[in-house]
Structure 1
Amino acid sequence: MVTNSEAAHTSRRADTGHGPGRNRPPTVSLCIPAYQAERHLQTTLDSVLAQTFTALEIVIVDNNSSDGTREILEKLHDNRIRIIRNKTTVPMVDNFNLAIRESRGRYVKLICADDTIEPDCIATQVAVLEADDNVALVSVRTDFIDDEGALLRPARGLRGIVGRNSGRTVVRRIVRSGSNPIGPPVAGMFRRVDFDRCGGFRGELLFPMELDLWSRLVRKGDFFGVPRTLASFRIGSESTTALTSARSQLAQQLEFTSRLVHDPEWQVPLSDRILGRINAYDMQMRRSLLFALSALRASRRRRALGSEKGRERPG
């Protein structure tokens, strides 16, 4: 686990007239862990800064990046933003946890540095949590996009769990689906107090890391699925998931599901277990195809760009 002594803290609070007062905690913390994020970070920040809900802070943790991430962050001037720079590069799970544990908001959303959210995403999710103290996790549907932001698959997530659902219903759906029906980190919002109580992110199984957190959060209360597409998840050709072998992804998913099945709190029926194992193989094949498609598109763009540059050279 990362301690504060391992990170260098830098805050920028230009007087823009936005956000919470200097001494008043924000309602929401948007936490952005960033590492080698130069390519997409500005797009992510633009979507975050365009939110209609303004009682928020933006906590960005630069995990000792060596690309242009630092230069992008140095150009930010907004009193809602706090920038933290790690002195050394730490494991991804530690950087995720550090970003959230530096937050001050009652509600928290973690946004990876290549994902985006729609302008009313935060307002919509906050409204759900404010309306019902017994909801521990709220999620939205997510578009899957490629490296350049082109749509790969629209409106993913929440199949069978739209609206309010108990933790047991959600866990049964996780097992039955063989995948992650709640969505990636950018889809969710939760209470900071519940995050602390359930122990934060765990890195033992890296591939289903957020799904592991989701399943522990719904022990603390109900789940609410908002049937609107308010976030975009980038299927990056060089992301951590893309660089993890399909065999490893499947093995981790099956191991995680097995742990849920053997947890007596959830009482998962045999029929869900059998169907879930079949679906896990099918979903892994679909996931692999999506990443292959994203990589193919990226390769074609690079070749096209190379051809254009070649034509521009003088003969």
Structure 2
Amino acid sequence: MVTNSDAEHTSRREAVAGSTPGLDRERPPTVSLCIPAYQAERHLRTTLDSVLAQTFTDLEIVIVDNNSSDGTRDILDGLHDDRVRIIRNTTTVPMVDNFNLAIRESRGRFVKLVCADDTIEPECVATQAAVLEADAEVALVSVRTDFIDDEGALLRPARGLGGIVGRQPGQRVVRRIIRSGSNPIGPPVAAMFRRVDFDRCGGFRGELLFPMELDLWSRLVKKGDFVGVPRTLASFRIGSDSNTALTSARSQLAQQLEFASRLINDPEWEIPLSDRVLGRINSYDMQMRRSLLFALSALRASRRKRALGSTDDRERPG
């Protein structure tokens, strides 16, 4: 839930002056790209390059550094672009609080949260903003996502939107969530939504961390329709040291099943028994697939580390 207590962790709000001419700081932008960052130096430059390369120009980029102790600060200090605002937390807050803070500091009508190791294609923001601009009854729009490993190599292409391409009512989307046993809408980097709807539905909630974004998506589609754009315009990194990778498969599955149970028990959705049964079966299958993806990413990382170590050994003088 978005609360005022999040702001207590913020030491200063810093607008990074830069090179974008004619930007009106007084007029709110159409889109806010929000980047919560913690110990993000490994991939942050790549993420920033992707958001700064957007063809859509009426945007701001809000970055919240969650009291990182690595090179994140140095990377952010090197930014010189009037579209960027940097916020620094004085203490490290829980991930859900940092996500909510990044969005609460945004000024745009439309919001997209990009984790500090993910990327978006140059046309991503323009494509999604056009959908929300064209129809006030649409609350959430998502695109397909490539899954990549630590080094950016492709693991699985064009994931997401199974059975929910095009405009869909909220009930059909939620039924698809239950039936699939997974997250057909996609991770945060895949989605864009209205700031007003985010505030009205209470923001991210941290009670169940693994399906945290799916919990938000299900509440957003109570506010309006969903549109699935069948284009691959984002990349989600399956990092070997990510929060998801460090959460046990058993815990992930338990949280997914608990979240599904809450949707099923919500009378608004009227989930039929057939979807409930199939969804439970699929939940186990999808958890196995997720575990295999993270295992593959970790294996690739280990092989690269060993290869790098072998190269270093050969280059040392005898």
TM-score normalised according to structure 1 size: 0.99
Q: Give yes or no for contact 2:6–2:97 (8 Å, CA) kept in 1.
A: no
**Structure 1 CA distance for aligned equivalents of residues 18 and 238 of structure 2:** 36
Shift of 1:171: 0.1
Task: Find 2:213's aligned residue among 201, 204, 210.
Answer: 210
2:19 to 16, 20, 27: 16
Q: Does 1:306 align with 2:317?
A: no
1:222 counterpart (225, 238, 244): 225
Partner in structure 2 of residue 120 of structure 1: 123
1:151 CA drift (Å): 0.1
**Could you tell me which amino acid in structure 1 is paired with residue 109 of structure 2?**
R
Q: Identity, % of aligned pairs?
A: 82
Counterpart check, 1:89 vs 2:89: no
Write the letter of the residue equivalent to 1:195.
Answer: F
CA spacing shift, 1:15–1:307, aligned 2, 3 Å: closer
Offset at 1:16? 1.9
How far has the Cα of 1:18 moved from its partner?
Answer: 5.0
Q: How does 1:161-200 map to 2 (within 5 A)?
A: 161-200=164-203
Aligned length: 315
- Is the 8 Å Cα contact of residues 65 and 72 (structure 2) preserved in structure 1? yes
The Cα of 1:15 is off from its aligned counterpart by 4.3
C-alpha contact 2:16 2:79 (8 A) present in aligned 1:
no
Counterpart check, 1:38 vs 2:28: no
Q: Is the 8 A contact 2:16 2:86 kept in 1?
A: no
CA deviations 1:145-203 (Å, max 9, x no partner) are: 00000000000000000000000000000000000000000000000000000000000
Distance 2:22 2:289 in 1: 41
Tell me how far apart the structure 2 counterparts of residues 285 and 242 of structure 1 sit (CA, whole Å). Answer: 13
Measure how far apart 1:5 and its partner are. 3.1
In the TM superposition, 1:96-107 aligns within 5 A as: 96-107=99-110
Per the TM alignment, residue 23 of structure 1 is displaced from its structure 2 partner at its CA by 1.0
Aligned position for 2:282: 279
Aligned match of 1:288: 291
Task: Extract unaligned runs of 5+ from structure 2.
Answer: none
Q: Is the contact made by 2:170 and 2:225 (CA closer than 8 Å) also made in structure 1?
A: yes
- Tell me if the contact between 1:19 and 1:79 (Cα under 8 Å) persists in the aligned partners: no
Q: CA RMSD in A?
A: 0.9
Select between 7-16 and 293-302 the one with higher mean Cα deviation.
Answer: 7-16
Alignment match, 2:51:
48
Name the structure 2 match of 1:142: 145
- Report the residue type matching 1:84 in the other structure: I
1:6 CA displacement: 2.0
1:248-259 map, 5 Å: 248-259=251-262
Q: State how far apart, in whole Å, the 2-side matches of 1:133 and 1:193 are.
A: 12
Q: Are the equivalent residues in 1 in contact too, given 2:145–2:233 (CA < 8 A)?
A: yes
How far apart are residue 19 of structure 1 and its match?
Answer: 7.5
How many angstroms apart in 2 are the aligned matches of 1:298 and 1:140? 27
Q: CA deviation at 1:17?
A: 2.9
Letter aligned with residue 177 of structure 2: I
Distance 1:143 1:7 in 2: 33
TM-score, with normalisation over the residues of structure 2?
0.98
1:249-287 CA-to-partner distances (Å, cap 9, x unmatched) read 000000000000110000001000000000000000000
| Unaligned stretches of 5+ residues in structure 1 | none
Residue type of the alignment partner of 2:138: V
* SS of equivalent to 2:312: helix
Aligned partners of 1:19 and 1:57 also within 8 Å: no
Amino acid at match of 1:102: E
Q: CA deviation at 1:20?
A: 4.1
